[in-house]
Amino acid sequence: MSSLDQARATQLKNIESKTGKTLEELQAAITRTGLTKHSEIAGMLMQKFHLGYGDANTLVHFALKSDAQSAAEASGASIEDIVGQIYSGNKAQLRSIHEKVMSAITKFGPFETVPKKAYVSLRRKRQFAMIGPAAKSRVEVGLNMKGIKATPRLIQLPPGGMCQYKIVLAIDADVDKELIAWIRQAYDSSV
């Protein structure tokens, strides 16, 4: 079992402990609601079972078998294939920004790259960053770190989301020392 599979299994086991329900019971509860949209199901899980966003999101993907990682495993697609799909069509020109960010991050040390449908999650013991196209003209880097003062460029996000901060990148030159320093701080605090 890969470390990513172990992390997912641990998170699902923790969800069972937090809710006092087995995964089968939770899946049945989801089915009984009649909800079909990911966001609606996650909202219901957060409200009814007091789960955080990350746990609710993982549980929805588990129940619906809808995350990109599961799809990749089922289809045999590589991370590179999934990243290619994320940056396809009118977002293809943004791939160079993604590659420049990833090139800098790989110098930090070990981490896992977890592809999702619209972005890539970067994890050590927990997610420290996510990167993906937010529109056809920009990439967003989400960061998880605490105690950092927001700036016009380092945008603080509302509590309860997947990241505490985001930075918008429109051109390759936006991948600069300041951005890499923020990502490094998130990386270092994710152990």
Q: What is the mean pLDDT of residues 139-156?
A: 95
Q: How confident is the model at residue 112 (pLDDT cuts 50, 70, 90)?
A: confident
Q: What is the mean pLDDT of residues 93-106?
A: 96
Report pLDDT for 136. Answer: 94
pLDDT at 158 over 60: yes
112, β-bridge pairs? 123
Backbone angles phi, psi at 35, to 5 degrees: -70, 145
pLDDT at 2 over 60: no
Instruction: Name the residue with tokens 């991050």.
Output: 105
Per residue in 16-74, pLDDT tens?
A: 999 999 999 999 999 999 988 888 888 899 999 998 877 887 888 888 776 655 555 54
Q: What is the mean pLDDT of residues 87-116?
A: 93
Q: Give the whole-angstrom CA distance, residue 154 versus residue 178.
A: 10
Q: Give the whole-angstrom CA distance, residue 29 versus residue 35.
A: 10
Instruction: Name the residue with tokens 């990109």.
Output: 68
pLDDT at 159 over 90: no
Residue 109, number of CB atoms within 10 A of its CB: 9
Q: Which amino acid is at 71?
A: A
Instruction: Name the residue with tokens 């990386």.
Output: 187
Q: Give the whole-angstrom CA distance, residue 20 versus residue 18.
A: 6
Q: Considering the chain, what is the average pLDDT of its residues?
A: 88
Higher pLDDT, 116 or 181: 181
Contact of 105 with 183, CB cutoff 8 Å: yes
Higher pLDDT, 38 or 102: 102
Q: Count CA atoms closer than 13 A to 21's CA, side-chain side.
A: 15
Q: Which two tokens mark 6?
A: 């172990």
Q: Give the whole-angstrom CA distance, residue 118 versus residue 105.
A: 19
Domain residue extents for the chain: 3-66, 79-188
Instruction: Name the residue with tokens 């918008």.
Output: 168
Sheet of 155-156, strand order: 112-115, 120-123, 127-135, 138-143, 165-169, 155-156
